[in-house]
Amino acid sequence: MEEQRKRVEDHMTKMVEEIDKMYLRKMQRDMHKCAAQCCENESYSIQKVHTCVENCSSSLNKAQQYVQGEFERIQNRLQRCIMECNDNIKDKMGPNPTQIEVDRYSEEFEKCATKCVDSYCELLPSLEKTMKKVLSKNEFS
């Protein structure tokens, strides 16, 4: 199971890095430039500067929420799949399994969970493509 967890983690890290470098970092840079301009305007009141800075961070916040929501959605899908594997094994195992049964069912659970991870990893490129498409349209303003 540790190997599967590592596989998921590696795929996710690679995808997050890619999206950050291609889109979010640029948005963050623009947000900071915008916020700096708000602070440089000496005619603004404290409240006006605060509102201006908030407006600068709005599109980045929306984009980050979008990315986080998509990751949560796909991770929930993986968790549901693994939970189903677990439930199926519990249903088969019965109240007092022998050690041989426990070993067999553990192996069966591992195979099922590995299929879940395989499916999850196969979905990630498509998710990444969709997220990049959405982020490239920059509809978060």
The rounded percent of the chain whose pLDDT value lies above 90 is: 83
The rounded percent of the chain whose pLDDT value lies above 70 is: 99
Q: How far is CA 90 from CA 87, 104, 109, 112, in A?
A: 5, 12, 10, 13
- Kindly tell me if the per-residue pLDDT of 139 is higher than 80: no
pLDDT in tens, 62-89: 999 999 999 999 999 999 999 999 999 9
What is the pTM for the complete model shown?
A: 0.82
- Kindly report which listed range (40-44, 105-109, 134-138) carries the lowest average pLDDT score: 134-138
